[in-house]
Amino acid sequence: MSEQKFDVVVVGGGPGGYVAAIRAAQLGFSTAVVEREHLGGICLNWGCIPTKALLRCAEINHLMRHADQFGFTVEKYSFDFKKIVERSRKVAAQLSGGIKHLMKKNKVTVFEGHGKLLGKGKLDVSKDGKNVATLEAKHIILATGARARVLPGLEPDGKRVWTYKEAMTPQEMPKSLVVIGSGAIGIEFASFYHNMGADVTVVEVMDRIMPVEDAEISAFARKQFEKQGMKILTGAKVVRLDKTENTVTVHVEAGGKTEKITVDRVISAVGIVANTENLGLENTKVKTDRNHIVVNQWLETDEKGVYAIGDVVHGPWLAHKASHEGVICVEKIKGLPDVHPMKKENIPGCTYCTPQVASVGLTEAAAKEKGYDVKVGKFPFIGNGKAIALGEPEGMVKTVFDAKTGELLGAHMVGAEVTEMIQGYVIGKTMEATELDFMHTVFPHPTLSEMMHESVLDAYGKVIHM
């Protein structure tokens, strides 16, 4: 056991925690990170990064199946599912190793174990039930993340009913599966397994899939998924699972009727639960709301010297939001003069399914509910030369403006590479750009980004290529 003092101790080494630690070290704070599993957290090891590696393979498989459209003849091909999974894990391991290097480079001390608050400025670090260190710090940042929500009766068993972890490391490719939940995680897994050849059914309790997205984008995405052969049930609830040795029969209730669907595997993707247990919060004035830690705009809790960032606080629960919160938190502690609180309406959301979905700001419906008089512009992928050349003519860009001021209220996209394109609107929104700023911007040709320009023009009756 050792007692050590630091200026800043971060509990959790995910995208919020490790970024906060690096920024703290850059600002001259003696800094430590306490991590109980893997540096990089869920995002890097079991979420954002390895799923993108899997989805890249699914994209390749999708292109191989449609090679004739590009003039290629592929008579026979196959894939090694084990190698696909292995590649995904190697990508995660490579990046996790990179985080270790960054910790060393920035002179951040890493403690392996579970961190628990002992009271004012003190933290116990234990591993396998044994104390490995007692840390003292003026500033303690909780970045403990979240885990998959488990619904009663639908508990994952790791074999036939999966969470994201099992879905990322299957022993073999299932021929059929049901995905419960159509948020970003559920839809990405549904898209991956469908593009790899599985028979996929998505069950969503809300009246539409991807319910946080603009209704028009959500409807367009559903149409594309169903066109590809995916089955989607909305306004539906899974009420029971009957398991055999190799299959699961899913009882789905919708419209007063119950349907039985028998599949090889079930993926549960019904949200998250913050990791607030056993953190010693009872030894502090830290408050929670619906299991998430309550913080102010500077990420401060009600306990002086204790802060919280990322998935352990209220949403949106996104890695890039967590990282940015880490920087804001540390820079505010340092007292830098140009620190700004986060504007959640400027945080983009991306879903890496086929087709991709990306958005920032208010949906059309939300803008109207807030009392805005709106101007809405839309432009289809079919009107864009680059999209047609890529063989990706299905998609849409939609923009929502305040009719009075020209402020961009929201941007919503579905189609190829929109997760890369959305950043253009994010920058514009952060800079409080108006419709004229977008109109006067020269977009390169031929690119998919030209559709962003055309959508703005359409909102004001000036669209060129439609």
Question: Catalytic residue positions?
Answer: 445
Q: Measured between alpha carbons, how far is 101 from 148 in angstroms, rounded to an integer?
A: 29
Q: What's the CA angle centered on 51, arms 299 and 112, to 5 degrees?
A: 55
Which two tokens mark 22? 């690096």
* Matching residue, tokens 């190829």: 416
Distance from C-alpha of 357 to C-alpha of 187, rounded to nearest angstrom: 10
Please give the torsion angle defined by the CA atoms of residues 47, 48, 54 and 58, in that order, rounded to the nearest 10 degrees: 130
Listed residue (159, 167, 171, 169) closest to 200, CA to CA: 167
- Rg (the chain; Cα; Å): 24
74 torsion bin: left (phi>0), alpha (psi -120 to 50), beta (else):
beta
Which strand (E) or helix (H) includes residue 3? strand 3-11
Helices (H), 106-236: 164-168, 184-195, 215-228
- Residue 265: how many CA atoms within 13 Å on its side-chain side? 24
* Structural tokens at position 456: 């703005």
| Residue whose entry in the numeric block shows the structure tokens 């359409």 | 458
The Cα 452–Cα 396 span in angstroms is 10
Q: Which has the closest alpha carbon to 420: 388, 399, 397?
A: 397
* Phi then psi dihedrals of residue 273, to 5 deg: -130, 130
Burial 410-421 (b: 16+ CB within 10 A, else e): bbbbbbbbbbeb
* Secondary structure of 405-417 in HEC code, one letter for each residue: CCEEEEEEEEECC
* Number of residues that this document lists for the chain: 466
DSSP 3-state percent helix, strand, coil across the chain (nearest 5): 35, 30, 35
The whole-angstrom separation of Cα 434 and Cα 238 is 45
Amino acid at 75: E
Which positions ≥6 away from 229 have C-beta within 8 Å?
Answer: 194
